[in-house]
Structure 1
Amino acid sequence: MKPLIRLWTMVGAGLIVPRPTGIVYTNQTDGTGCDHPELEGAFVPISNDYDHPSYEDSLECALCRIFPEGWGSPSADTCDAVDRLLSGYRATTGIRVDRSRMEDSREAWLWVTITEHPDHDFLGFGECSAVLTWPNSD
């Protein structure tokens, strides 16, 4: 069994970039559905520096507002809202919802594509897929 890191008490948002690291990450997702998907990879905290005037302006809080009830795969409208949100933060420039993985995505476990950008705090991954995760709504 590989080591497992539970992100259930994480503050902010992060990316899990699939890689053969030997470490598996999980988070509580899908609102009160309380799903616990797992993914082996590298965890990258993202936009967690509180450079905003208040928590209500943070990426984490904004993501929670987009998914107020959790439950199920995101709609196209929800994905559009997430893309608009991500385009507004320096740390998430070049990160977009992966529309081909909508059925695999849930509240607090959203598949995205990353196009590497000089503003990112993580470098050398190139273009790749990842899971964007944050504290879930329940």
Structure 2
Amino acid sequence: MSTLPLIRLYDSASLGLILLWPTGILYSNQAGGSFCLQPQAEGAFLPLVDELVAQAELLHQHFTGPKWRGACANGIDEETAQEIERILGLSFVTRELGVRVDRARLGESHEAWVYVEVPAQPENRSVCLERIPASQGILTWPNSD
């Protein structure tokens, strides 16, 4: 059991990105739909808020729709990865970051906890990050449970 400080994102109302980084702080969120998983990861949390595009709501609709019915806890497939990337492309904020679903970790991803690849963010490239090397992260949002 870890002794690192833990921040629970259960009450977060929007999309966010956990950059996997040795920060000494763990983040957790309810995930997996009705399975109510509580995964944890060490990193830095970046809220991804765009008041013009309700990305968290669009993701909620996808995962509660006919394909997953609110029960996605055993990995996602290529079709869902493409839908997540389509939704990320709707917002200037997430489109600018260039985040892509990590195809090597589809089996470890589930509703509200999707492993992603984050390209390097040099100076003056993105709206949110600067001087960040290429890294991995977790895209997270309110679970549909």
Determine helix, strand or coil for the equivalent of 1:12.
coil
Q: How far is the alpha carbon of 1:119 from its aligned partner?
A: 3.1
Please point out which of 121, 131, 134 is paired with 1:127: 134
* TM-score normalised over the length of structure 2: 0.85
CA RMSD of aligned residues (A): 1.3
Q: How far is the alpha carbon of 1:21 from its aligned partner?
A: 0.9
Look up the match of 2:38.
36
* TM-score normalised over the length of structure 1: 0.89
Look up the match of 2:60.
64
Distance 2:127 2:37 in 1: 29
Moved more, 120-129 or 1-10: 120-129
Distance 1:126 1:86 in 2: 20
Within 5 Å, which residues of 2 pair with 1:1-138?
1-46=3-48, 48-50=49-51, 52=52, 57-68=53-64, 69-71=70-72, 72-93=74-95, 94-116=98-120, 118-138=125-145
Determine helix, strand or coil for the equivalent of 1:131.
strand
Q: How far is the alpha carbon of 1:49 from its aligned partner?
A: 4.2
Specify which structure has the higher proportion of strand. Answer: 1
- Structure 1: unaligned runs, 5 residues or longer: none
Kindly provide the CA deviation profile for residues 48-72 of structure 1, in whole angstroms up to 9, marking residues without a partner as x.
241x2xxxx4111011112111323
Identity %: 36
Aligned residues: 132
Distance 1:9 1:85 in 2: 22
Distance 1:89 1:109 in 2: 19
Are the aligned partners of 2:15 and 2:139 in contact in 1 as well (CA < 8 Å)?
A: yes
- Structure 2: unaligned runs, 5 residues or longer: 65-69
Determine helix, strand or coil for the equivalent of 2:116.
strand
